[in-house]
Amino acid sequence: MTKRVTYLDNAATTPVRPEVLEAMLPYLGSEAFGNPSSAHRFGRAARAGIEEAKRAVAAAVGAEPNQVVFTSGGTEADNLAIIGAALAAKDRGRPFRVAVTATEHKAALAAAHAVTHLGGEEIILPVTASGQVENEALETALKTGVAIVSVMWVNNEVGTRQPVAAIAARCSDAGVPFHSDAVQAFGKLPVSLRDVNCSLLTISGHKVGAPKGVGALIVRDRNAVEAIIHGGGQQYGIRPGTENVPGIIGLGVAARLAVEEQQALAARLSALRDELERRLLALVPDAVIHGWQGERAPHISNASIPGTDSEALLMHLDLAGIACSSGSACSTGAIEPSHVLTAMGVPRDLGVAALRFSFGKDSSLEDVEAVAAALPKIVEKVRSLSAVLHR
C-alpha cells in the first residue's frame, strides 16, 4: 500500500491540472505545432491558440488582450517590469531609480539591484511587523522621484496582503508607474485591474495549475517599459522570441479556471489555514505565527518553532510524508533566516526556525490532521538534538 503524501507547498508550485494538460496536448502534437509567426496553416493554428489564451488571461485580470505579454514565468515578468520601466524612464530623462519593498520576491529585489549596475539606483522600502510597506517611506520615495514602484500583492513567504489599491492610486497621483507581483494573489484573491490601477502586473502559470515556464506581464502602457531582451517583433517587441505555445495555452485555461473557482477556494483554504494554526498552537504553545496581525492571503501560513531549525524540521517532516518549505536558506554552510522575516523584525533564532505551509486546490482537512499527528514527536526530537548540539 502506497503511503499517503501530504503536499503543503503549493506556494512553491502546483500540479498541472488535467483540464490544462488536455488543452495543451494538441499544441504538442501534429495539429498545431507550427511557429505562430508563420503564415501557413500550422502557424495560424498556433497563433489562434495564443490569441484565445490572451483573451482568457486578459478577462481573468480585468485587462485588454493587447495588454498581455507572455513570459517564461514570474521572474522574467518582474525583471521586465522593473528593469524595463527604469530604462524607459532613463530614455525620457526621468529619475533612474526604482523602489521595491524589502520583502519582495528575490526576482524583484535582484531586478532592482541590477538597475544599479546600469547606472541607476535602488530604494528598498521598509515594512511593518506585519509585512506591509511603511507609508512614510513610500511617500519619501515618490517625492524624490522614481521610475517605478514595485510592491507585491501577496507575500510568497508569510502571505501578507499589501493595500495595493491605495498604493496604486497614490503612485498614479504622483505620475509614477506602479508594478505589482500578483503571483501569489492570483487565484486566491480577486485580482482585477478594473479595481486596482496597476501599470504593470505579474502572474505565473505554475502557481495555478499551469505548467512551469510560462507567465505573463500585463502592460497597460507600452511606453512604460522597454524590452530587456532583443530579437524579432513578437509581442509588440516588448518580449520578442518564439512563444511557448503549449505553455501559453495552459496558462489561458488555468487562468479561466482560477477565476471561476477563486471565491470558493479562498473560503476553503482560509478555513484549512486557520485550523492548522489552531492545532499548531495547541500542540506547540510557544510557536509563533508570522504576519497574523495584518491581512493575509488564505493559503499561506508561516510559523516558527523556538528551539529548532527549519532544515531539521523539514527533513523529519519529509520522512513523515509531509512536504512543506522553510523560510530560511543555507548560505556557506550556515542556516540564515529569510530576508522577509528579517525585514519584518523577526529575531534570528525564530527566523531560522520558520516553516511555510501553503494550501492548494487538492488540500484537505486530512492534510492538517497529518501535520498535527506528526509534529509533536518531530519537534521533540529536533529540540532534543538541538539542545545536545548547543551544550
Distance from C-alpha of 81 to C-alpha of 226, rounded to nearest angstrom: 9
Q: Give the distance between the most distant pair of CA atoms in the chain.
A: 73
What Å distances lie between residue 222 and 33, 82, 104, CA to CA? 29, 14, 24
Q: Is 3 left (phi over 0), alpha (psi -120 to 50) or beta?
A: beta
Q: Which three cell numbers stand for residue 365?
A: 482537512
Active site residue 330: yes
Q: Which three cell numbers stand for residue 123?
A: 530604494
What Å distances lie between residue 69 and 147, 212, 217, 228, 230, CA to CA? 20, 16, 5, 13, 14
Name the DSSP letter for residue 96: -
Distance from C-alpha of 109 to C-alpha of 111, rounded to nearest angstrom: 5
Distance from C-alpha of 333 to C-alpha of 74, rounded to nearest angstrom: 29
Catalytic residue chosen out of the listed positions 171, 198, 324, 330: 330
**Active centre residues (catalytic):** 330
